[in-house]
Structure 1
Amino acid sequence: MSESEPFVLYERDGRIARITLNRPEHLNAIHETTPDLLRAAVERANQDDNVHVILLSGAGRAFCAGYDLKEYAEAPRPVKGSQDMPWDPLVDYQWMRHSTDCFFSLWRSLKPVVAKIHGYAVAGGSDIALCCDLVVMAEDAKIGYPPARIWGCPTTAMWVYRLGAEKAKRMLLTGDLIDGKTAKDYGLVIDTVPADQLDAHVEALVARIASVPKNQLMMQKLMVNQAYDNMGLNSTQTLATLFDGITRHSPEGVAFKARCEQVGFKAAVKERDGGDPLAWKNAR
């Protein structure tokens, strides 16, 4: 696939709308155009009276490896997500809230959305996956939010709503990745199966959902989502999105950015996600 091809693909297959993240050579890392393309695909499915259910998946070896931040992390400030200091938090908030709202079109969709996870669903990729109504993972797939260690806060806030306080803290206080079996045990995903059975398992699930009338599906989804709205989901996302910007402009975030410029994004991430205290950060 060339960079000129669509980064998000859409097709309708009977009652199923199939949306595919399509940057396989980058493990479907989120391009700056991906959020808007994803929302447009969801809106297209919702406007099609033939569609009953949406299946979201990733092309190639992974679902989504998160934001494609290498260029932004290694380039000197100011770049998107890393302003010159002092910084304006509302500039960052406006940018990230837009992406969050695009991802959350999956949750707000009147048609139910099933995510099929193979390879990796990490960082921003986990945000996308957890905005879906049902998530099915391959047993060997990995999900998590490593930027919780430095340089990120999950703006959709769906970890806490899916896991509850204690397990959400377990994930976000460590930034660890977990496999599909652990994610199922935690209650993060609805099911996990061996990788060679993932396609067949998900196809059976979406076919079962697709057999239900659209109005029934819509009412059940709206009823469940309303309970989350009543628990303050929107206000939690507002706080999380503000915090996400702060993580990139805190003393430790600035030091991480400088380290990315010095040794490269991948090397800095490897240091960040290891278990040792970070010698280059501003110790507290």
Structure 2
Amino acid sequence: MTQEPVVQYERDGRVARITLNRPEHLNAISDAMPGELKAAVERANTDDAVHVIALSGAGRAFCAGYDLKAYAEAPRPVKGSQDMPWDPLVDYQWMRYATDCYFSLWRSLKPVVTKVHGYAVAGGSDIALSSDIVIMAEDAKIGYPPARIWGCPTTGMWVYRLGAEKAKRMLLTGDLIDGKTAKDYGLVLDCVPADELDAHTEALIARIASVPKNQLMMQKMMINQAYDNMGLNSTQTLATLFDGITRHSPEGVAFKARCEQVGFKAAVKERDGGDPLAWKNAR
């Protein structure tokens, strides 16, 4: 049976529209999604008619992060959770592939405008923050809860968008923030009421699409090289290694065992609450 694409692509005049398309799962990241996203970005970049890429999610959310329930609840070894002792480079290779797929948005010669509604959580925030411009609904939520246990944002874009202090505020708590707070922090360009999100985003996309492609490419390349010079690739290398470590640390192993015992959703609810976690043998 042929698997249905989880990323949709269409060209609308000068705009390439890329849509994450697992609405029944809040567009949670499947094994196929990173590669399909990269392929869609490459398709837009090779289409001479495209000036700008519009990225969005179908259904009730932009992206709810990795679809980890099966991996978390199944006994080791599973993807991202090896038998011990573990090989850090196995995790690194897997997650670096995904990171590079998301970062095709950042490296795209065509600018990318992302529209966030519902949630852009965990890996979903990695995707959104790899684009050039993010516009959120006021009531949408963004954050990286696995920073508490079992994750590290591999793209590193929290620090490059927020600076050190606000990035620490987000990643030392794993809290979610709404669109208004994300705008106030400088994480996203703008936020608007949910019923105005489409029109507001389309107005900006149309404005960008009116500019010649070579001008758009030069401005984006000039800005991005400044981040490269600041060490963006080194940050991503370290973060991707750390991401694998989080799933194999004593606390990560205990979290995995808890997922097998009570289910992924219940374990996440415990992890993301405010109380110390007795089951994780915290040190």
**Aligned counterparts of 1:264 and 1:246: Cα–Cα separation in 2:** 22
Report the residue type matching 1:17 in the other structure: A
**Aligned counterparts of 2:282 and 2:124: Cα–Cα separation in 1:** 29
**Aligned counterparts of 1:104 and 1:71: Cα–Cα separation in 2:** 26
Q: What SS does the aligned partner of 2:174 have?
A: coil
TM-score, normalised with respect to structure 1: 0.99
Q: Where does residue 45 of structure 1 map in the other structure?
A: 44
Deviations 1:63-114 (A, max 9, x none): 0000000000000000000000000000000000000000000000000000
**Aligned counterparts of 1:197 and 1:5: Cα–Cα separation in 2:** 31
Deviation at 1:5, TM superposition (A): 2.5
**Aligned counterparts of 2:14 and 2:4: Cα–Cα separation in 1:** 25
Q: Where does residue 204 of structure 1 map in the other structure?
A: 203
**Aligned counterparts of 2:4 and 2:226: Cα–Cα separation in 1:** 39
Q: Where does residue 133 of structure 2 map in the other structure?
A: 134
Residues 119-158 of structure 1: matches in 2 within 5 Å? 119-158=118-157
**Aligned counterparts of 2:90 and 2:110: Cα–Cα separation in 1:** 32
Q: Where does residue 77 of structure 2 map in the other structure?
A: 78
Q: What SS does the aligned partner of 2:154 have?
A: coil
TM-score, normalised with respect to structure 2: 0.99
Q: Where does residue 237 of structure 2 map in the other structure?
A: 238
5+ residue gaps in structure 2? Answer: none
Q: Where does residue 102 of structure 2 map in the other structure?
A: 103
Q: What SS does the aligned partner of 1:280 have?
A: helix
**Aligned counterparts of 2:3 and 2:136: Cα–Cα separation in 1:** 30
**Aligned counterparts of 2:21 and 2:105: Cα–Cα separation in 1:** 17
Report the residue type matching 2:153 in the other structure: P
**Aligned counterparts of 1:51 and 1:283: Cα–Cα separation in 2:** 51
Q: Where does residue 255 of structure 1 map in the other structure?
A: 254
Deviation at 1:4, TM superposition (A): 3.8
**Aligned counterparts of 2:258 and 2:113: Cα–Cα separation in 1:** 38
Deviation at 1:283, TM superposition (A): 1.8
**Aligned counterparts of 1:80 and 1:260: Cα–Cα separation in 2:** 15
Q: Where does residue 114 of structure 1 map in the other structure?
A: 113
CA RMSD, 1 decimal: 1.0
Q: What SS does the aligned partner of 1:63 have?
A: coil
**Aligned counterparts of 1:155 and 1:5: Cα–Cα separation in 2:** 27
Report the residue type matching 1:157 in the other structure: G
**Aligned counterparts of 2:124 and 2:64: Cα–Cα separation in 1:** 6
Q: What SS does the aligned partner of 1:9 have?
A: strand
**Aligned counterparts of 2:3 and 2:25: Cα–Cα separation in 1:** 14
Q: Do residues 92 (structure 1) and 91 (structure 2) align?
A: yes
**Aligned counterparts of 1:215 and 1:55: Cα–Cα separation in 2:** 18
Deviation at 1:215, TM superposition (A): 0.2
Deviation at 1:58, TM superposition (A): 0.1
Q: What SS does the aligned partner of 1:99 have?
A: helix
**Aligned counterparts of 2:91 and 2:226: Cα–Cα separation in 1:** 29
**Aligned counterparts of 2:31 and 2:43: Cα–Cα separation in 1:** 20
Report the residue type matching 2:226 in the other structure: A
Report the residue type matching 1:280 in the other structure: W
Deviation at 1:6, TM superposition (A): 1.4
Report sequence identity in percent. 88
Residues 164-203 of structure 1: matches in 2 within 5 Å? 164-203=163-202
Q: Do residues 58 (structure 1) and 57 (structure 2) align?
A: yes
Q: What SS does the aligned partner of 2:280 have?
A: coil
**Aligned counterparts of 1:231 and 1:56: Cα–Cα separation in 2:** 26
Name segments (4+ residues, structure 1) moved above 4 Å.
none
**Aligned counterparts of 1:95 and 1:110: Cα–Cα separation in 2:** 25
5+ residue gaps in structure 1? Answer: none
**Aligned counterparts of 1:133 and 1:276: Cα–Cα separation in 2:** 37
Deviation at 1:262, TM superposition (A): 0.2
**Aligned counterparts of 1:102 and 1:282: Cα–Cα separation in 2:** 35
**Aligned counterparts of 2:278 and 2:15: Cα–Cα separation in 1:** 51
Q: What SS does the aligned partner of 2:214 have?
A: helix
